[in-house]
Chain A
Amino acid sequence: MLKKTPATTTSRQAVLDRLTGKQVIGPGLPTIEHDRMVHFDDPVEKFIEVLSTVGGQAHLVDDAQQIAQILSDIPVYANAKRVVSLVPEAIPGSLDVATIDDPHALASVDWTIAKGEFAVAENGAIWVEGATMPHRVLLFIAQYLAIVVSRSDLVHNLHEGYARIGTPKSPFGVFVSGPSKTADIEQSLVLGAHGCRTLQVFLTP
């Protein structure tokens, strides 16, 4: 059981005193006008284009059957032993995570099929809500990741994206854009750093 460490606040007043000791007049907060921000004639096309530049692959699909077909054509999916599906209505998983308490037990997951709330055309990112995942680590620990999101849930830019989230309702939420990657060795881009090695995005109607 956790022993909760209480907050250390001995310096709190000293820091706040220093910050209020000198009065500085601010300009007030600006209004962020969505009308002034970039919009696209075809946001779906833009999303697919940007996602591919960051190493992800998007697929336009009409139904769940098509998702299963595309996935089964990917060798690393066909050979996968442990598939966790968080959208069982579209793709059945082979591992039931409902009974798992400790996220460490998910270390051997091959694929996670996650559900995206909406996608952003300007930067190829998909918002995944923490509440849709029994363990948030599923998104990061799986060797391969697929996200299913409806193309009717596409926003043009990030401002619209944040407006859609409104106030975060669960303790975790993440924008995912492409597979895990690094360029720390001589600026050579390598896909698959710690998280997923590839990212497949299925855009349903």
Chain B
Amino acid sequence: MKSLPIVDHPTKARPFVADTERFHWHDQALWFVRSKRDKQAGSVPEWEHLRSLASQIKTETIANLGDYLVEFERNATALGATVHWAADAAEHNEIVLKILRDHETLRIVKSKSMLTEECGLNHFLEDNGIEVVDTDLGERIVQLRKETPSHIVLPAIHIRKEEVGDTFHEHLGTDEGASDPQYLTEAARQHLRDKFLAGEVGITGVNFAIAETGGLVVCTNEGNADLGVSLPRVHIACMGIEKLVPRFQDLSVFIRLLARSATGQPITTYTSHFHGPRDPNSELHIVLVDNGRSRLRNSNEFREALHCIRCGACMNTCPVYRRSGGHSYSATVPGPIGSVLSPTRDSSRYKSLPYACSLCGSCSDVCPVKIPLHHQLLAWRKELVGENLLPYSKRISMKAASILFRSPRLFSMAGWMGRKSLKILPHWATHNRLNTWTIARELPEPPRESFRHWYAENRKR
């Protein structure tokens, strides 16, 4: 993964932003979700209290994560589950493949899991001759289009219904030009039902795992995770090690926050609790994945990012995400939380992401587990300067600004020059390719005099 190209958010966002009609539509679609979230949050009188509880539980869990993981492993094993440990994405994929090979599996059904996206499981399994069917409707659309999810809760939020119609026409044989969501969903239901019945192993992600009981919880609206693992005899659950909560009762806090923050529902349609395999003839495999999480725990600055329960509320509210689309982040997790997490993996590759932020603070306000997201994004900028990862143009101009602000005389002179040049410079001199700032902006009208001059005239006696 070392030689991957550097992600430049502005460059990647350009095609999305260029389509004005589309980005307004995207913006509106996400704002609709954000409004539903506000309504739900407002209807729970103890909302802020719940956020505090969630934050405290997560802080405690991450502080003692090793102990809680051992407790979880012991209890899950006692229930008959098999617990595997993976240091990184490659090992996670190998473990899953080994289980599938041991069962001579050719077809798996998978429910939504950002972890397996992070690990690139689908491609790895397909390269090894296994048919992978994503069963969440949004994920299935994205999979058929050979794209990646652009949002962690709404994977196909960037795709229009006409485009879904085209994709389904090509792959599922629906009527050409059909774009009615009801009709398209029904077609997907029929198509996926056959896949469910043919699936030999079910793979799911994990929303929460409980140290005290050794169980795990999966939340879906479609029921795809449940259908996917209730038919075959083998269930593989893949989870990042930060998904743990200590006590069974802690679930009440997080389940109350999760769906309300994510989609503005009081709870997901299905909140399934798995404690050990179905029966003595079945298997439940749980794969615990580190993949950089233990390193993130060592960082005093960014540790709280491990509290994330992947609700996506920070994305829905982010003015930059809503207008630039999830793919512009080139990361499994986009948006504010993704801009904090991605540079912890590779600060040089993702150095532009902490700047894809207006520091408006809305993400921190909606975060159900109180991650100080905008503070962390600001902290990242400081970190990037320290690592000398800022572009040369910015480094030079920051140096120049520093000199300017330290000298009152220089500052006053620069102001005079600025006002004069704004008046006399022709348009072509300010608006050209050398000045990227003016691509979409006009320069301001210069004031007649400086504040310093006005103050001396009117107030200084």
Contacts and interface: CB of A to CB of B under 8 A. Distances in A.
Interface of A: 2-12, 14-16, 18-22, 24-30, 32, 36-38, 50, 53-54, 103-104, 107, 120, 122-125, 135-137, 139-141, 157-159, 161-163, 165, 167-168, 170-188, 190, 192-196
B272 interface: yes
A188 B199 CA distance: 28
Given A18-B294, A136-B230, A161-B252, A177 B56 contact: no
B271 to A, nearest CB: 4
Given A36-B46, A123-B267, A167-B213, A11 B87 contact: yes
Contact of A7 (B83, B164, B189): B83
B252 A168 contact: no
Contact of B84 (A7, A28, A158, A190): A7
Contacts of B155: 184
Interface string B361-405: 000000000000000000000000000000000000000000000
Contact of A54 (B87, B137, B184, B269): B269
Interface string B288-307: 10100011011000010000
Nearest to B77: A7
A168 B213 contact: yes
A84 to B, nearest CB: 14
A193 B270 CA distance: 12
Given A14-B87, A26-B60, A168-B248, A194 B265 contact: no
Given A11-B91, A175-B271, A194 B189 contact: yes
Nearest to B284: A171
B59 interface: yes
A195 B278 contact: no
Nearest to B49: A36
The 6 A-B pairs with the shortest beta carbon distances in the complex, nearest first, are A195-B223, A26-B63, A184-B138, A123-B266, A137-B230, A193-B222
A8 B92 CA distance: 10
A47 B265 CA distance: 14
A9 B186 CA distance: 43
Interface string B70-110: 10000001010011111100010001001100110000000
Given A4-B82, A19-B66, 15 more contacts: A2-B283, A5-B82, A18-B294, A18-B295, A18-B297, A19-B69, A27-B56, A54-B269, A104-B231, A139-B226, A140-B227, A167-B213, A188-B181, A193-B185, A194-B135
Contacts of A163: 249
Contacts of A54: 265-266, 269
A contact face: mostly helix, strand, loop, or mixed: loop
B317 interface: no
B55 to A, nearest CB: 9
B65 interface: yes
A28 B250 CA distance: 13
Contacts of B138: 182, 184
A5 B99 contact: yes
B154 interface: yes
Contact of A195 (B66, B227, B246, B285): B227
Interface string B262-276: 010111111111111
Given A19-B66, A190-B182, A8 B252 contact: no
B32 interface: yes
A125 B258 CA distance: 15
Interface of B: 29, 32-33, 44-46, 49, 52-53, 56-57, 59-66, 69-70, 77, 79, 82-87, 91, 95, 98-99, 102-103, 135-138, 141, 154-157, 160-161, 164, 181-182, 184-186, 188-189, 192-193, 196-197, 213, 215, 221-224, 226-227, 230-231, 233-234, 241, 246-253, 255-256, 263, 265-279, 281-283, 285, 288, 290, 294-295, 297-298, 303
A138 to B, nearest CB: 9
23 contacts: A7-B82, A7-B85, A22-B298, A29-B56, A36-B46, A38-B45, A124-B267, A158-B255, A162-B248, A170-B275, A172-B273, A174-B271, A175-B270, A180-B269, A182-B185, A183-B263, A184-B156, A185-B181, A187-B157, A193-B189, A193-B221, A194-B196, A195-B226
A91 B185 CA distance: 31
A26 B59 contact: yes
Contact of B269 (A7, A159, A168, A176): A176
A55 to B, nearest CB: 8
Contacts of A22: 297-298
Contacts of B253: 32, 159
Pick from A122, A175, A186, A192 the residue with the most CB of B within 10 Å. A186
A193 B223 contact: yes
A24 B63 contact: yes
A2 B231 contact: no
B273 A174 contact: yes
B226 A140 contact: yes
B268 A186 contact: no
A50 B40 CA distance: 11
B156 A185 contact: yes
Contacts of B275: 168, 170-173
B249 A159 contact: yes
B160 to A, nearest CB: 6
